[in-house]
Amino acid sequence: MVTDQAAGATDVELTLAARGGSSSRWTPWLFRIGSVGLVLLIWELYGRAQDTTLFFVPFTSVVTALWELVQTTEFWDAFRQTFIPFIWGWLLSLVVGIFLGLLIGRFPAFDALTKPYVTFLNALPISTLVPIAVILFGIGYPSRILIVFLFGVIEVTLNTAAGVRYVNRDLVEMGESFNGTQWRLFRKVILPASVPGIMAGVRIGTGRAVVGMVVVEILLVAVGMGRLILRYRGRFQSAELYAVVLALILFGILLQVLARRIELRASRWKSEMEQVA
Amino acid sequence: MIEIREIGRQFNTRDGGTFEALKDVSFSVKDKEFFSIIGPSGCGKTTLLKMVAGLVRPTSGQIVIDGSPVSGPGNDRAMVFQHFVLLPWADILTNVGFGLEMRGLSRRESREAARPFLDRVGLTGFAEHYPHELSGGMQQRVGLARALAVSPDILLMDEPFGALDAQTRQLMQEDLMRIWDVEQKTVIFVTHSMDEAAYLSDRVLVMDTHPGKVREVLDVPLPRPRDEAVRTTPVFNELTSHMWHELRGMIGDPTAPAPE
């Protein structure tokens, strides 16, 4: 009897604990959804209160326009024209950025050698390079790829270099004590230990590359999504204009979520270690 | 034989002066000997051990192992670290095989070769666990297995049980004794526990501080194999109280620099 009661009490406690755990896990999501919902509601109401749909349109109209837009081949052609140079520039920025970052983080001499250029690119709004890229490479894929690349590469480089530079000294010393080659030390200790830094660079660099993609579309003579934006703006088709922008935002968010996922996955050992510590 | 010959180590301080961490340290460790170094914090005992490991260079003097001077890490030595220093992203078996991997074996080969050492330290079922899933004592068993796996002649242990609680510490000491009885390796064991030094060692070097130097080398005339009972023998108590007498004058000095 006594044991039954005890068991019962434990069950209740377990249930309560589980409920407490799940509610605290979902709380931030409730706030996020609530926050976004509130803004969308204000948008909707404000849009409906307008006399004309020329400048500001309700959120639901934008969603409808987007829904119609994604059913046209024109939208997907535009998307592809924007997307292909983005992918190339983005991947290039990751590959080059990680490579440079590893060298900079590992070799102080290489750091000193590249510092002026890294500092220069980091201080410069990359948008100012767009006209130069156009003069040099025209308005085709090469300039587009270059701009996306330049937007992304610095963050990837700097974060990777920081990741390498701040690898735990004790780990390196432990690796050295086992008397391997410098290359093995790099591959088996320094590189895996730098993964969290590298992945942070990938995430931030991805966000920057998306910005680069949009800048290219707005500042260059537009062929992809930018052309749609210019056209709808010219025709005062505000719902469609907003819909294109919304599509770009959604694309950016999607990539961010993806990059964040990869980052968390690759850095899992780090967060688990910190939880223990 | 390991010969420590007139080792000195100086650091440049921020105000432009020099700080002498070690001065004229000379002693030698025999083959298969369990040799402990004990001393107050900041006496340079860890630095000395890292010099034998080839990780730190002395400013003066020389360390000679079996006739050849130490110029860096070597395959004849392996180190066990105070804070374990396991690879957090790798599972236990990979961690134990890490030293072998550093010496050129493939991941698969080194994992295979690591297995018996995992058994030897009593972690048979934990091959696929990750370091953060293990207690401190278990993590240090991994650290010990990793060092043993490269089959070193010399085991260098830097306060290996210093970060563990008292009970775990005692268990680890007993296990280390058992393993050492079988392995027959030269061990240099840095500690700040007099009890630990007396229980484990053949000889104990007591170090002085400011600067770090040899105060005396004590023989431990306790028969082997040893068990818990030796801790209550008069010889053991005499030894530890002698060490305490030697050390108490050195600690509690408010002008002492921060521990290493």
Residues of B with CB under 8 A from a CB of A: 53-55, 72-75, 77-79, 81, 83, 85, 87-90, 98-99, 101-104, 130-132, 150
Q: How many CB pairs under 8 A join A and B?
A: 65
Instruction: Reduce the DSSP state of residue A70 to 3 states and report it.
Output: coil
Comparing CB atoms, the residue among A179, A270, A273 nearest residue B103 is A179
pLDDT in tens, chain B (260 residues): 999 999 999 888 888 888 888 999 999 999 999 999 999 888 889 999 999 999 999 999 999 999 999 999 999 999 999 999 999 999 999 999 999 999 999 999 999 999 999 999 999 999 999 999 999 999 999 999 999 999 999 999 999 999 899 999 999 999 999 899 888 899 999 998 999 999 999 999 999 888 888 999 999 999 988 888 899 999 999 999 999 988 887 765 545 444 44
- Asked if A183 has any chain B CB less than 8 Å from its own CB, the reply is no
Kindly give, in sequence order, each residue whose CB lies less than 8 Å from that of residue B243, ignoring residues fewer than 6 positions away.
B38, B194, B197, B198, B204, B206, B218
Test the A interface: residue of B51, B56, B98, B102 with most A CBs within 10 Å: B102
Among A204, A190, A186, A188, which Cα is nearest to A263's? A204
Nearest CA in chain B to A168: B85
Can you tell me the distance from the alpha carbon of B110 to that of B102, in angstroms, rounded to the nearest whole number?
9
Judging contacts by C-beta atoms under 8 Å, the chain B residues touching residue A178 are 73, 78, 98-99, 102-103, 150
Domains annotated for chain B, with CATH where assigned, are 1-70+186-260 (3.40.50.300)
Nearest CA in chain B to A187: B102
At A62-90, the pLDDT tens digits run 899 899 988 998 889 888 888 899 999 99
Backbone angles phi, psi at B230, to 5 degrees: -65, -25
CA atoms within 13 A on the CB side of B229: 5
Q: How far is A170 from chain B (nearest CA, A)?
A: 7
